[in-house]
Amino acid sequence: MKALVFNNFGGPDVLHIEELPDPQPGLGEVTVRIKAAGLNFADVYRRQGRYHLAGNAPYILGYEGAGIVERVGPGVHGIREGDRVAFADVPFANAELAIVAAERVIPLPEDIVFEQAAALLLQGLTAHYLVNDSYPVRQGSDVLVHAAAGGVGQLLVQLAKHKGARVLGMTSSEAKREAALQAGADKVLLYDADWVREAAEWSKEGGGVDVAYDSVGSTLMDSFAAVRLRGAVVFYGMSGGDPAPVDPRMLMDTSKTLTGGDLWNHVTTREERIRRSNELFALLREGRLRLGEVRTFALHEGAEAHRLLESRKHAGKIVLLP
């Protein structure tokens, strides 16, 4: 099989196509012929050597994809050759073939194309648990979404609006502000404004929003300032740097809540993956969830795709096509 690999950590130029032996499924595994693989910042961080990578070079990136089951290993039930499937947490997806544990296989409905699944699942499942589990968004909730023009941010805005919330987005530029507005945010503020004050003024009662979803990290204490008494901050990323330590006395004095979020604590079974994915597919099918612009690259154009992702000039998803 052909795979997009790298042997040394570095910039996009370390990526190249290499012919590797076809992987064989073991007990409880299937081989999937990849039709589309989602590109995420985690792939960039692994290529740079900032995230842990198991095994030895040549390294294959990619944790999210969709394709067709080509071989079924022993001990697998309910999955057949030719099935359309997707996954969100399986390594080595940047190749023509990938080994997927049966418990991580998500059946892909006929009306959801491979590129849609590869563009939706990882970020969509993240947004799904955030609005349903980390803080149950309800009709009339005032919700602040950091990085509202990003992949998770745009989906988070839409899912919160679907639940009847008022959504205030945060972005770093006018172009990204427009993307967040198109996703459905009621108002979008820029980080160079006095956004904590403006968020409080925008809230229904002027005392702050009900919840702030913070994926930036360095903004954590400002997020606390922007939420009301008895409000909540959901911390699920640190794209802007490490957060400041939180004084538990502040939490006591204000009755505010800090909740951490990690997708893998919310999709611990195949049933959970399938249930959440089917809810996302249904919203996509009904037009109540819209993907941003999906930019596709051939697998051999992987270096170019990484450059575009790192440039942060593309507000939608980037997908590789083997």
Does 16 lie in the same domain as 37? yes
Q: How far apart are CA 157 and CA 185, in angstroms?
A: 6
- Last residue of one domain, picked from the residues 239, 260, 281: 260
Residue 132 domain-assigned? no
Give the burial class of 289: count Cβ atoms within 10 A of its Cβ; 0-12 exposed, 13-18 middle, 19 or more buried: buried
Does 193 lie in the same domain as 256? yes
DSSP secondary structure letter of residue 66: E
Does 104 lie in the same domain as 9? yes
Our measurement of the distance from residue 101's CA atom to the centroid of its chain's CA atoms, rounded to an integer in Å, reads 21
175 CB neighbour count, 10 Å cutoff: 11
Does 226 lie in the same domain as 147? yes
The answer to whether 184 touches 214, Cβ cutoff 8 Å, is no
For the domain that residue 83 is a member of, what is the CATH number? 3.90.180.10
From edge to edge, which strands make up the β-sheet containing 227-235?
187-190, 166-171, 142-145, 209-214, 227-235, 257-260
Residue 19 domain-assigned? yes
- Last residue of one domain, picked from the residues 241, 260, 279: 260
Residue 203 domain-assigned? yes
Listed in sequence order, the residues at least 6 apart from 168 whose beta carbon sits closer than 8 Å to its beta carbon are: 142, 143, 144, 145, 185, 186, 187, 188, 189, 199, 202, 209
Listed in sequence order, the residues at least 6 apart from 16 whose beta carbon sits closer than 8 Å to its beta carbon are: 4, 5, 6, 303
Q: Is the pLDDT of residue 241 over 90?
A: no
Residue 20 domain-assigned? yes
| pLDDT band at 82; cut points 50, 70, 90 | very high
Q: How far apart are CA 168 and CA 63, in angstroms?
A: 31
Residue 133 domain-assigned? no
Residue 226 domain-assigned? yes
- Last residue of one domain, picked from the residues 242, 260, 278: 260
Mean pLDDT to the nearest integer, 74-91: 97
Does 106 lie in the same domain as 56? yes
CA distances (Å), origin 71, targets 97, 241, 312: 10, 43, 38
Q: Is the pLDDT of residue 49 over 80?
A: yes
Mean pLDDT to the nearest integer, 177-197: 96
Q: Token pair of 256, please?
A: 């505010």
Q: Token pair of 270, please?
A: 């195949």
| pLDDT band at 316; cut points 50, 70, 90 | confident
**Per-residue model confidence as pLDDT tens digits over 109-157:** 999 999 999 999 999 999 999 999 999 999 999 999 999 998 999 999 9
Residue 126 domain-assigned? no
Q: Is the pLDDT of residue 215 over 90?
A: yes
| pLDDT band at 312; cut points 50, 70, 90 | confident
| Domain total of the chain | 2
Q: How far apart are CA 165 and CA 155, in angstroms?
A: 14
DSSP secondary structure letter of residue 134: I
| pLDDT band at 313; cut points 50, 70, 90 | confident
Q: Is the pLDDT of residue 239 over 90?
A: no
For the domain that residue 185 is a member of, what is the CATH number? 3.40.50.720
Residue 281 domain-assigned? yes
Does 233 lie in the same domain as 149? yes
Structural domain of 193:
139-260
- What is the three-class DSSP state of 4? strand
Does 227 lie in the same domain as 172? yes
